[in-house]
Amino acid sequence: MRKLSLLLLTLLLFSTQIYSQTKKEWFPGGLNIQPFAANFLEPRAGFSYLIGERNIRLDIGTSADVYRIENENSVLSFGADIFTFTRLRSEKGFKFPVEAIDYLFGLNSGYKVINDNSEYGFRFRFAHISAHLVDGSYDQSSSSWRNGRKPFVFSKEFFELFPFYKINSFRVYTGVTYILHTVPPDIGKRIYQVGFDNYFTSLPFKAFTPYIAYDFKLQKFGAFQGSNIITAGLKFGKWNEKGFSVSLSYYSGKSVHGLYYDLNENYALLGFNMEL
């Protein structure tokens, strides 16, 4: 972590010299790189109801640009990420025991070149994830962990690079993740991704913008296995800025929660998200 911080600081100082005639700003508003709508590891503040299941996912997270350098047609940014995503179980009496929680924190950098109606660039991130079972997974009546799943240490540190190209409001991206260290050690160290998001800005709606997005991820769990997220929704507010979204999604693949990493899941979910 210390080496990465020194690297980012060096890049920041180097960029400051190169972009000496451009606009520089600490803690600017908004994000240089808009979150990829169907990618799971993105900043969210909301919840998703797993249709037909007894589970709810609660997301509390944010990404912020800390320093931004703007040229005539390019933007370079350095920022930070802090996420939690939590698995809750729905029970009678409006009770929601917390079964599992995952934490992510990290640093990021984004760069993009803007043309008339298109842009291209990348987002780089270095982050740490740790995962935990919580008391909602423990059955007090039988003094045992539910479904025989006991707590264990789960953590990983990784780099990821997401190049993208956008024309108007359609964006396509690829992603490569390299896991530096993981516990348990039987998780593949490389993740490959591809996806897109498209906001239908030409439709005659002013209060909201419909959108559709897809993400495919390939990772090795003994053998390579793919996971899919497809989502469609409505974005209230400007489509490429802060706002509120309602979405209907379908997920299939390994569980997104670290303590369930070996569990295959597939479900539809109805999501509500504040994009802060």
Residue 252 domain flag: yes
State how beta strands 55-70 and 118-133 pair. unpaired
Mean pLDDT, the chain, whole residue set: 91
- List the one residue out of 105, 102, 112, 104 whose CA is nearest residue 30: 112
pLDDT of residue 22: 82
Residue 15 domain flag: no
Residue 8 domain flag: no
Q: Distance between CA atoms of 26 and 104, rounded to whole angstroms?
A: 23
Check pLDDT > 80 for residue 89. Answer: yes
Residue with more model confidence, 19 or 242 = 242
pLDDT of residue 206: 84
pLDDT of residue 54: 86
Residue with more model confidence, 2 or 275 = 275
Contact (Cβ atoms closer than 8 angstroms) between residue 275 and residue 244: yes
Query: 37-51 burial, b for 16+ CB within 10 Å, e for fewer?
Result: bbbbbbbbbbbbebe
Residue 57 domain flag: yes
> Residue 172 belongs to a domain with what CATH number?
2.40.230.10
* pLDDT grade for 2, boundaries at 50, 70 and 90: low
CA atoms within 13 A on the CB side of 90: 12
Rounded to two decimals, the pTM is: 0.88
Q: What percent of the chain has pLDDT over 90?
A: 72
Residue with more model confidence, 136 or 264 = 264
Q: What percent of the chain has pLDDT over 70?
A: 92
pLDDT of residue 93: 80
Instruction: Give the DSSP letter string of 231-274.
Output: EEEEEES-TTSSEEEEEEEEEEEE-SSGGGTT-EEEEEEEEEEE
Check pLDDT > 90 for residue 72. Answer: no
Model confidence over 181-219: pLDDT tens digits?
999 888 899 999 999 999 999 988 888 999 999 999 999
Q: What is the number of structural domains in the chain?
A: 1
* CA distance between the termini of the chain: 27
Residue 4 domain flag: no
Output the six-digit token pair for 132: 């935990």
Check pLDDT > 90 for residue 95. Answer: no
Output the six-digit token pair for 230: 């497809």
Check pLDDT > 80 for residue 87. Answer: yes
* Type and span of the H or E element at 216: strand 208-221
Residue showing tokens 């979204």: 245
- List the one residue out of 122, 75, 129 whose CA is nearest residue 106: 129
| Number of neighbours of residue 163 by Cβ within 10 angstroms | 15
* pLDDT grade for 9, boundaries at 50, 70 and 90: low
Amino acid at 21: Q
pLDDT of residue 186: 84
Q: For residue 206, what are the domain limits? A: 22-275
Model confidence over 138-169: pLDDT tens digits?
887 787 898 888 888 999 999 999 999 999 99
Distances (CA, A) of 245 to 15, 165, 196, 248: 35, 23, 17, 10
Residue 145 domain flag: yes
pLDDT of residue 136: 85
For 103-107, 140-144, 265-269, which range has the lowest pLDDT when averaged over its residues?
140-144
Residue 61 domain flag: yes
Rg of the chain on CA atoms, in Å: 20
Residue 10 domain flag: no
